[in-house]
Amino acid sequence: MSLSVAVGFETLSSWERGFEGRVTLVNRTGADAANWQLSFAYPGKFTWLSEAVAMQTAPGIWVWKPAAWNRVLPKGATMVIGFGGTKGTLNHFHFTVGKPEPAPAPAPSPGQATCDGSGLLESTALAGLPT
Q: What is the pTM of this model?
A: 0.70
Contact 12, 21 (CB under 8 A): yes
Residue-level pLDDT at 108: 36
Residue-level pLDDT at 84: 93
Angle (CA) 108 95 23, round 5°: 85
Residue-level pLDDT at 2: 47
Residue-level pLDDT at 80: 95
| 66, containing H or E segment | strand 61-66
- pLDDT, averaged in runs of 10, over the chain (131 residues): 72 88 89 88 90 91 90 92 85 62 44 34 30 28
Residue-level pLDDT at 83: 93
Residue-level pLDDT at 53: 93
Angle (CA) 58 59 63, round 5°: 50
Residue-level pLDDT at 97: 67
Residue-level pLDDT at 3: 54
Residue-level pLDDT at 17: 87
Residue-level pLDDT at 76: 92
Domains observed in the chain: 5-101 (2.60.40.290)
Residue-level pLDDT at 113: 39
